[in-house]
């Protein structure tokens, strides 16, 4: 392969990695069809390999790829008209339309299109699990098998969910657009929820050999930055801050063998101070608006952890206060559990254990392995060995992530 050809191939690979999902989002807007846009995008990149090598790289590669993708889609529709007469009218309409002026297409326009796509995939007419699946597949570009793996679902089941979601968008004529200003709050909640679910799966994988999935958490942070730039709502800033503050601890959360390292044992010199500084600044901006929501409160809690030079210096009273407010703003059994653990750190293991037992007695977290693990740890600290062993065993039976299972097995061996 000639050197020039190698350079073009490397350039195209780089553009694909960095820009393909943005280019795809623009094609979805222009073509109004997910599958047609996906095929058109891949055909455009394939054409670039030949034409850019022979004719040189265009001045605006992104615009070239979008324009070529659009024409490829029209050709595809033309070919299909032999089997579907209804497509003939669509092909004529698309050819008759003046091509959109994409000669000056820049990154901001591409990201605007991606924002439209996020809101489309998170439309309230779609079920919550479909919103997550579509966002991961269409916005983040994960393969169907990867989406299924992330959420403990068979690929065939996930594929059906994605197909049904696309069909719903098409049949209900859900527009590819950012909603009107008065609709943003309702729609934004869905978008933020999906982005947070994606991040959580990346930060602490629900199953598998690894404790984390950097591809998912990185994609969630990228989407969070995009939302914060284009829609700097207080809760958008809060969510981005929360993700950055969590992400700052990633390197310290596992050891060289991939085993978990608890917060109290982490080497804080490994924490990413740049992410912490950015996260704390975003928390301050969100709090300054006076519109404090669940993501801003959680980010505030993470900021307290990030501020402590060592575990024993953690301000647990402040953390409990934030959990008190969070419990009123967004009550949930998981928030109650996390608050109980913070109370244990502030007031002692016995007081915390009573809180954890109250949460478990409600029955809402009986299938949540971290609830049993929290109870086991507090019993261990109180030398209630039999109770600790029973709770660790209950947690182990529910855990599906291998590093967590190894940690629980280690605790059981220590008790023995």
Q: Is residue 145 part of a domain?
A: no
Q: What are the Cα distances from residue 50, in Å, to 4, 9, 59, 103, 120? A: 12, 10, 16, 21, 34
What is the C-alpha to C-alpha distance for residues 78 and 88, in angstroms, rounded to an integer?
Answer: 7
What is the C-alpha to C-alpha distance for residues 182 and 208, in angstroms, rounded to an integer?
Answer: 42
What is the C-alpha to C-alpha distance for residues 416 and 400, in angstroms, rounded to an integer?
Answer: 23
Reference 112, options 217, 190, 229; nearest CA is: 229
Q: Is residue 255 part of a domain?
A: no
Q: Is residue 93 part of a domain?
A: yes
**Mean pLDDT (whole number) for 20-38:** 89
**Statement: residue 3 has pLDDT above 80:** no
Dmax of the chain from CA atoms? Answer: 79
Kindly tell me the burial class for residue 412, based on how many C-beta atoms sit within 10 Å of its own C-beta (0-12, 13-18, 19 or more).
middle
Cβ neighbours of residue 290 closer than 8 Å, sequence gap 6 or more: none
Site of tokens 């912490």: 276
Q: Answer for the pair 157, 130: CB distance below 8 angstroms, yes or no.
A: no
**Mean pLDDT (whole number) for 278-307:** 95
Cβ neighbours of residue 391 closer than 8 Å, sequence gap 6 or more: 372, 373, 375, 376, 379
**Mean pLDDT (whole number) for 329-354:** 95
- In angstroms, the first-to-last Cα distance of the chain is 63
Cβ neighbours of residue 217 closer than 8 Å, sequence gap 6 or more: 198, 199, 202, 203, 243, 247, 250
Residue span of the structural domain in which 9 resides: 3-105
Count of structural domains, the chain: 1
**Statement: residue 151 has pLDDT above 90:** no
Q: Answer for the pair 228, 240: CB distance below 8 angstroms, yes or no.
A: yes
What is the C-alpha to C-alpha distance for residues 278 and 31, in angstroms, rounded to an integer?
Answer: 38
Cβ neighbours of residue 381 closer than 8 Å, sequence gap 6 or more: 349
What is the C-alpha to C-alpha distance for residues 252 and 241, in angstroms, rounded to an integer?
Answer: 19
Reference 19, options 98, 91, 108, 86; nearest CA is: 108
- Quote the pTM value: 0.76
Q: List pLDDT tens digits, range 349-390.
A: 999 999 999 999 999 899 899 999 999 999 999 999 999 999
Reference 248, options 285, 223, 282; nearest CA is: 282
Band of residue 1 on the pLDDT scale cut at 50, 70, 90: very low
What is the C-alpha to C-alpha distance for residues 195 and 231, in angstroms, rounded to an integer?
Answer: 14
For the chain, percent of residues with pLDDT exceeding 70: 88
Q: List pLDDT tens digits, range 201-260.
A: 777 765 556 656 777 788 889 889 988 987 888 999 999 999 999 999 999 998 888 889
Q: Is residue 55 part of a domain?
A: yes
Q: List pLDDT tens digits, range 86-101.
A: 555 555 565 555 555 5
What is the C-alpha to C-alpha distance for residues 153 and 150, in angstroms, rounded to an integer?
Answer: 8
Q: Is residue 269 part of a domain?
A: no
What is the C-alpha to C-alpha distance for residues 89 and 69, in angstroms, rounded to an integer?
Answer: 20
Q: Is residue 69 part of a domain?
A: yes
Kindly tell me the burial class for residue 131, based on how many C-beta atoms sit within 10 Å of its own C-beta (0-12, 13-18, 19 or more).
buried
Q: Is residue 258 part of a domain?
A: no
Q: Is residue 415 part of a domain?
A: no
Element (H, E) at 185: helix 184-203
């Amino acid at each position: 392969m000639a050197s020039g050809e190698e350079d073009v191939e490397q350039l195209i690979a780089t553009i694909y990695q960095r820009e393909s999902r943005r280019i795809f989002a623009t094609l979805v807007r222009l073509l109004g069809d997910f599958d047609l846009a996906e095929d058109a995008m891949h055909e455009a990149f394939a054409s670039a390999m030949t034409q850019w090598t022979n004719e040189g790289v265009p001045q605006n590669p992104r615009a070239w790829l979008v324009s070529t993708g659009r024409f490829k889609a029209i050709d595809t529709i033309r070919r299909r008209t032999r089997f579907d007469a209804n497509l003939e009218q669509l092909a004529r309409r698309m050819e008759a339309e003046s091509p959109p002026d994409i000669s000056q297409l820049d990154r901001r326009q591409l990201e605007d299109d991606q924002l439209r796509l996020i809101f489309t995939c998170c439309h309230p007419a779609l079920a919550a699990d479909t919103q997550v699946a579509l966002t991961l597949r269409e916005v983040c570009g994960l393969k169907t098998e990867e989406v299924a793996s992330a959420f403990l679902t068979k690929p065939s089941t996930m594929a059906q969910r994605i197909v049904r979601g696309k069909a719903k968008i098409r049949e209900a004529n859900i527009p590819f657009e950012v909603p009107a200003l008065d609709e943003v709050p309702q729609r934004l909640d869905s978008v933020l929820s999906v982005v947070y679910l994606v991040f959580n799966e990346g930060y602490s994988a629900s199953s598998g050999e690894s404790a984390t999935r950097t591809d998912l958490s990185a994609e969630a942070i990228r989407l969070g930055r995009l939302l914060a730039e284009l829609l700097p709502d207080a809760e958008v800033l809060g969510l981005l801050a929360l993700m950055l503050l969590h992400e700052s601890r990633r390197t310290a959360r596992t050891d060289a063998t991939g085993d978990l390292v608890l917060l109290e044992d982490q080497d804080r010199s490994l924490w990413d101070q740049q992410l912490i500084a950015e996260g704390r600044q975003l928390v301050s901006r969100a709090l300054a608006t006076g519109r404090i929501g669940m993501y801003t409160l959680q980010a505030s809690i993470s900021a307290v952890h990030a501020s402590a030079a060592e575990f024993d210096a953690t301000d647990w009273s402040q953390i409990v206060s934030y959990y008190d407010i969070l419990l009123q703003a967004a009550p949930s059994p998981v928030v109650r559990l996390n608050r109980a653990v913070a109370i244990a750190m502030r007031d002692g293991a016995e007081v915390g254990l009573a809180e954890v037992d109250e949460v478990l007695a409600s029955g809402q977290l009986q299938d949540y392995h971290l609830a049993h693990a929290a109870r086991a740890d507090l019993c261990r600290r109180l030398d209630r060995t039999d109770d600790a062993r029973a709770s660790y065993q209950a947690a182990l039976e529910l855990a599906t992530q291998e590093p967590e299972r190894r940690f629980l097995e280690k605790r059981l061996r220590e008790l023995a």
